[in-house]
Amino acid sequence: MIADQEGIYNPRHANDRMLLGLKGTISEVEINLLKGRMLEGTRNKAKRGELITRLPVGYVKGANNTPEKDPDKRVQQVIEQAFRKFRECHSVRQTLLWFTQEAIQFPAIEYGEFAKALVWKRPVYNTLYHVLTNPTYAGAYVYGRYQKRSYVEGGKIKTGRRMLPMEEWKIVINGHHSGYRDWDEFEMNRTLIRNNMRQDGEATRGPVLKVSEFQ
């Protein structure tokens, strides 16, 4: 027997089976409608630049739920130093070597069971790469940079995500908040990093292998 707020049903009876089937279909439609409304609400909030989930290191949520630079001056100075050094050497790797040689630690956010904490650690390549290519540091609000994808690995279906080309980003709001650099520099840095990646063909110039400042 199956019971709900409206009655008791016997799945062995045809009429009861029909009612249970109708109720199940209606419930499924209602769930899909609710999901659609929630998704549309999320998109509308993103269009206004108000959908803030996690901010990169160097930013905190302000009074109006907008990103503001971390009030910790040490955090600001180290992030600004990363951009200054990249302007000099035009290479993520060489920027990392400089931080390593100078024994400069980089801020990072660690999420614990109950709260997040700011920690200082030795930077790695991905640390600087994500800072230099994240549009948030250019004062822009971006939504829809990534696309979910499913793939088979070891006979199991797994879900991951990939970054979309910039022209396919769903929402981009320039001048949304205070940045550590401007949008033009952000685009220039992306181009430099992309050109530095070793690829086949003559269209790319290859990475910077030597910088005079480090000799």
Dump pLDDT digits (tens) for 126-165: 999 999 999 999 999 999 888 877 777 777 887 777 888 8
**Which CATH code is given to the segment(s) 48-214?**
3.90.1750.20
Task: Give the C-alpha separation, 186 to 189, whole Å.
Answer: 5
Residues 6 or more apart whose Cβ sits within 8 Å of residue 48: none
Residue 204 has pLDDT above 70, yes or no: no
Question: What is residue 205's predicted lDDT score, i.e. its pLDDT?
Answer: 46
DSSP letter for each residue of 156-178? EEEEEEEEPPGGG-SEEETTSS-
pTM of the model: 0.72
Dump pLDDT digits (tens) for 14-29: 877 777 777 778 777 7
Taking CA 49 as the corner, what is the angle to CA 44 and CA 50, rounded to the nearest 5 degrees?
80
Give the 3-state DSSP-derived string for 72-99, with helices as H, strands as E and coil as C: CHHHHHHHHHHHHHHHHHCCHHHHHHHH
Question: What is residue 147's predicted lDDT score, i.e. its pLDDT?
Answer: 81
User: What totals of helices (H) and strands (E) does the chain contain, helices first?
Assistant: 5, 10
Task: Give the C-alpha separation, 117 to 62, whole Å.
Answer: 17
- Where along the chain do its domains lie? 48-214
Residues 6 or more apart whose Cβ sits within 8 Å of residue 1: 8, 9, 10
Question: What is residue 69's predicted lDDT score, i.e. its pLDDT?
Answer: 94
Taking CA 180 as the corner, what is the angle to CA 176 and CA 185, rounded to the nearest 5 degrees?
90
Question: What is residue 211's predicted lDDT score, i.e. its pLDDT?
Answer: 42
